[in-house]
Structure 1
């Protein structure tokens, strides 16, 4: 296969340098995802001070970007398989820039909800686009680490969101606007670096453009190769996700990601709100406590990133859901926690969540499906996960209002346990296998 030269290039240093570039500029998108989805939790206490917002508006404001990401993942993910990775990964960033600026100047809460929704479309699109491009340019032996690096950068973005809150909050009533504007500035920088990326040779070959694929492989690796037509790929359509051949894979990647997202977003989007009741009204202490949880979540992602290609995908994901279920269960059975207890247990829960579920959502969907539907499959799984995120964000405050924090955390513990059951039942091991080996119908 022509793509074996990604594992044995004639010019390895040149290829490694290029792979680092692809990884970093793609991860810039997931960094922005983490920042933009988390910054609303950071900004919310300031927005509530400035505007008189009803509870339903607050829920919509938190959920709007996530709802938009559901549409972006489902719609633009499949367009990436039609129009190519290069075009979509560049155009996608324009949405980050434009709508981040508009959120910063929103005149009222309804416009802010609308602009956050449109920003979410770009956020959702970036998941399948970036993950697919990185997977198709990675060598077999480090594909897991390359993909999980994208996920780890999501949590870096979340940490930066909390740090920006600490830095910008003292600037007064408009501090939350500066937080949103910061997201636009970072998006412009990443957009500039994304310009000039080549198209994926695998995608070109799937479209019958073998000569272009051969040229890119030669430029990147120094190897002269012959990319043969792959007519079987033309017959694989997005509807194949629900065929007998792929249905178990589709259920697995969508199911575990749904369970992770429901639990994680339900906790993380309301961490400052939950902790604020235990900090004596100190906004700074609330941000510091929330930052500790976020940093431990990043630590979990880094641990998983360094284990994924050595330990394997399946055991990592099983360990992740086991730890998340245990952490949430302990929280659920302690109705009168202290601030320290909450910070420690929240940190343990998100550490375990992110070491597997929070990073393998960028790996498994791109490994388990052929080139012609890879981005579409990843987009579908992302959109299902967004349903979980929306449920987590909308259900949590309502369960808390009726039954309290412990009951809400108990619900998420059950969801995490469901993710563990799905993983044990359906998760395959893909460590050390070429994409074409995992999907033999594609060659």
Structure 2
């Protein structure tokens, strides 16, 4: 007896997987571009609108208020109406809101629209990682999710390029930068009609014929023969013919509807297991602490980075140039994490990259010359974004199908609380102890997150839970 999820787990990485990864990754990159753009817009508006540090803090933080709510509700919706549907809706919401923000006439309008942007951004990330995780072959699942997270670096680099070339070009440069954020709204159509729905989600809703069709499409892409139905099997299970030659059988020749009909309905009327159940509460608590620490330090540092460089005496163009160089180090960070996560495992990789982030943050706080600022900043980018990749890989693996979206969404929502606090706290820390204190606090948060990573179970090579 082989279940549909086992059939997916046993497939090689095919063009269908590549299409799903690329399609989800582009959405992920657009998300990162939007988050990154606001750091450059803040630096420009500080000069153009003569904004105070407190006003800038609210522009930076309000989006994360929306992201916290979006992550929580997006995960719940993904478990109820599907991963793909929520993914497409989030792109539409934050794309339209970002375009509208380009027309802002004052800080109040900008803050309201950035909140709406945050709702879409927050909902997208845990949903996209859950969707990709549920399709990725078991042996390389962690690596595939880290590659997905690697698209974040692509998006942030796009934001840095736009920030460097577009924002300083004119007084309306920041408006043109935000107008580019309309692209995700159009891309929502690609996600809605071009990507498959999660097989595990479809089975949880008794949509077995659709689930079977999706699995057969992936099997066909791999050149694997579709198995025959086995009456009386377990939910989502089929058996392979003992006499048929898999290499000679044309994929998809059996009737998918007949196969689905032979499968008993899943027990969807049973209550879902709470993420705080005795079995899951330890991993939930550990995951929430990691999410909080990494959000606090990452967004506190990178949302303020261009403005901090301007405050140190660098002009706008030079500050944006340094930020662009620092951002480029995110790509090799993801690449190394993608390799190590299937060698060392999820937990160790996550902890090591968080520890490296802590050391880098401390060095950045002490940096004074352009050379040391760039070197420490690149190290922070490398380790921090590698840690993000490992975190997104391990999250969906901790929960069963019926709570996977809500479990990862709740952790992301809790982490967004830290991303709200951090930008607001930066001006206070700066006035009390300057950059050394700011980045010393960030380093401490990374250390706490690294320790919490060791409380998470290691899921390397383990199948995702279906129930």
Q: Does TM, scored on the shorter chain, surpass 0.5?
A: yes
User: 2:151, 2:90 → 1: CA distance?
Assistant: 18
Q: Do the aligned partners of 1:304 and 1:359 also contact (CA within 8 Å) in 2? A: yes
Measured after TM superposition, the shift of residue 46 of structure 1 is: 1.8
User: 1:138, 1:422 → 2: CA distance?
Assistant: 26
Task: Decide which moves more: 100-109 or 300-309.
Answer: 300-309
1:260 has 2:290 as partner: no
**Which digits, 9 at most, give the CA deviation of each residue in 1:282-304, with x for residues without a partner?**
22211111112111123212221
The one of 364, 377, 380 equivalent to 1:349 is 380
Measured after TM superposition, the shift of residue 194 of structure 1 is: 4.2
User: 2:147, 2:268 → 1: CA distance?
Assistant: 29
Measured after TM superposition, the shift of residue 360 of structure 1 is: 2.1
The one of 270, 277, 280 equivalent to 1:246 is 280
Q: Do the aligned partners of 2:40 and 2:167 also contact (CA within 8 Å) in 1? A: no
Measured after TM superposition, the shift of residue 106 of structure 1 is: 1.3
User: 2:139, 2:413 → 1: CA distance?
Assistant: 29
Q: Do the aligned partners of 1:325 and 1:417 also contact (CA within 8 Å) in 2? A: yes
TM-score normalised over the length of structure 2: 0.87
Q: Do the aligned partners of 1:106 and 1:112 also contact (CA within 8 Å) in 2? A: yes
Calculate the aligned-residue CA RMSD, in Å: 2.0
Q: Superposed, which structure 2 residues align to 1:69-148 within 5 Å? A: 69-148=67-146
Change (3 A) 1:304 1:233: farther
Measured after TM superposition, the shift of residue 96 of structure 1 is: 2.4
Q: Which secondary structure state, in structure 2, belongs to the residue aligned with residue 361 of structure 1? A: helix
Measured after TM superposition, the shift of residue 178 of structure 1 is: 0.6
Change (3 A) 1:234 1:255: farther
**In the alignment, what sits opposite 2:182?**
184
Measured after TM superposition, the shift of residue 85 of structure 1 is: 1.4
Higher normalized helix content (fraction of residues): 1
Q: Superposed, which structure 2 residues align to 1:389-428 within 5 Å? A: 389-424=419-454, 426-428=455-457
Q: Which secondary structure state, in structure 2, belongs to the residue aligned with residue 359 of structure 1? A: helix
The one of 220, 224, 227 equivalent to 1:224 is 227
**In the alignment, what sits opposite 1:380?**
410
Q: Which secondary structure state, in structure 1, belongs to the residue aligned with residue 448 of structure 2? A: helix
1:285 has 2:283 as partner: no
**In the alignment, what sits opposite 1:5?**
7
Change (3 A) 1:265 1:172: same
Q: Do the aligned partners of 2:10 and 2:138 also contact (CA within 8 Å) in 1? A: no
Measured after TM superposition, the shift of residue 157 of structure 1 is: 0.8
Change (3 A) 1:230 1:150: farther
Q: Do the aligned partners of 1:236 and 1:372 also contact (CA within 8 Å) in 2? A: no
Q: Which secondary structure state, in structure 2, belongs to the residue aligned with residue 363 of structure 1? A: helix
Q: Which secondary structure state, in structure 2, belongs to the residue aligned with residue 146 of structure 1? A: helix
Figure out how many residues of one structure are paired with residues of the other and give that number. Answer: 428
User: 2:397, 2:104 → 1: CA distance?
Assistant: 40
Q: Superposed, which structure 2 residues align to 1:154-193 within 5 Å? A: 154-189=152-187, 191-193=189-191
**Which digits, 9 at most, give the CA deviation of each residue in 1:153-176, with x for residues without a partner?**
112111111101122134311000
**In the alignment, what sits opposite 2:201?**
203
Task: Decide which moves more: 376-385 or 300-309.
Answer: 300-309
User: 1:225, 1:153 → 2: CA distance?
Assistant: 38
1:430 has 2:459 as partner: yes
User: 2:52, 2:178 → 1: CA distance?
Assistant: 22
TM-score normalised over the length of structure 1: 0.91
User: 1:142, 1:42 → 2: CA distance?
Assistant: 36
Measured after TM superposition, the shift of residue 267 of structure 1 is: 0.9
Change (3 A) 1:186 1:386: same
Change (3 A) 1:420 1:59: same
Measured after TM superposition, the shift of residue 330 of structure 1 is: 3.4
User: 1:389, 1:217 → 2: CA distance?
Assistant: 38
User: 1:82, 1:124 → 2: CA distance?
Assistant: 17
User: 2:53, 2:464 → 1: CA distance?
Assistant: 47
**In the alignment, what sits opposite 1:304?**
337
Q: Do the aligned partners of 1:275 and 1:339 also contact (CA within 8 Å) in 2? A: no
Task: Decide which moves more: 48-57 or 88-97.
Answer: 48-57
Change (3 A) 1:321 1:193: closer
Measured after TM superposition, the shift of residue 195 of structure 1 is: 2.1
Q: Do the aligned partners of 1:206 and 1:229 also contact (CA within 8 Å) in 2? A: no
Q: Do the aligned partners of 2:33 and 2:158 also contact (CA within 8 Å) in 1? A: yes
Measured after TM superposition, the shift of residue 74 of structure 1 is: 0.6
Q: Which secondary structure state, in structure 2, belongs to the residue aligned with residue 212 of structure 1? A: helix
1:45 has 2:43 as partner: yes
Q: Tell which structure's C-alpha radius of gyration is larger.
A: 2
Q: Do the aligned partners of 1:214 and 1:224 also contact (CA within 8 Å) in 2? A: no
Q: Do the aligned partners of 1:32 and 1:187 also contact (CA within 8 Å) in 2? A: no
Measured after TM superposition, the shift of residue 225 of structure 1 is: 5.9
Task: Decide which moves more: 128-137 or 290-299.
Answer: 290-299
User: 2:24, 2:345 → 1: CA distance?
Assistant: 23
Measured after TM superposition, the shift of residue 237 of structure 1 is: 2.6
Measured after TM superposition, the shift of residue 55 of structure 1 is: 3.1
User: 1:343, 1:281 → 2: CA distance?
Assistant: 13
1:338 has 2:369 as partner: yes
